[in-house]
Amino acid sequence: MGDEDEDRGTEQQRRLVAEDFPYRSTLLANLSALILLWDSPAVQGQILAKSGESLDQPSHQTLRLLLAWGSLRPTALADELGVGASYVSKIVRRLEADALVQRSTDPKDRRATLISLTQAGVEAARGVYALGDRMISEVLEDWSASDIRRYTALTERFVDDAIRSTARMREQGLRPPP
């Protein structure tokens, strides 16, 4: 690895600390660092590779979405993955070749296609969620049971409030600053 690659790796690691996000809210800065870390295809890909996982990160993400939300049109899948239609086609072709997804006609619109999991795909997707469970277990391995319960309860409350607030913000925008 050259010096430039090492600098990029160090630079990426440096960005994963809350102090690098100039929010007034320490909570938001920490959440930003966590999202950047766990939403990073590079980080996820490295973890999967070191864990001996045969599927790549985009395939994992696709399987997770299809298990959680059911069959999706390719355009909806592209929107949720944040990628273009041609990239989704590549992911779907790879997953089809592994017999993990299948295409079918959308019964609501015979011109449209749906992507859905096969039985093998359901099992593979459950395996993806099991990897996530292992990941969070490693993160929390030194936490007490009471700390985990308290953090889980607060996180559930935060997510519920965030969903409710986001719905309002989507309709009305942000409120004026205090």
Which pLDDT score is estimated for 54?
87
Residue 51 and residue 78: Cα distance in Å, rounded?
27
User: Is pLDDT at 71 greater than 90 in this prediction?
Assistant: yes
Give 74-97 pLDDT, tens digit per residue: 999 999 999 999 999 999 999 999
Which pLDDT score is estimated for 8?
47
Residue 14 and residue 36: Cα distance in Å, rounded?
11
Residue 82 and residue 59: Cα distance in Å, rounded?
14
Average pLDDT over residues 44-61: 89
H/E stretch holding 149 = helix 145-172
Give 138-162 pLDDT, tens digit per residue: 999 999 999 999 999 999 999 999 9
Greater confidence, 5 or 45?
Answer: 45
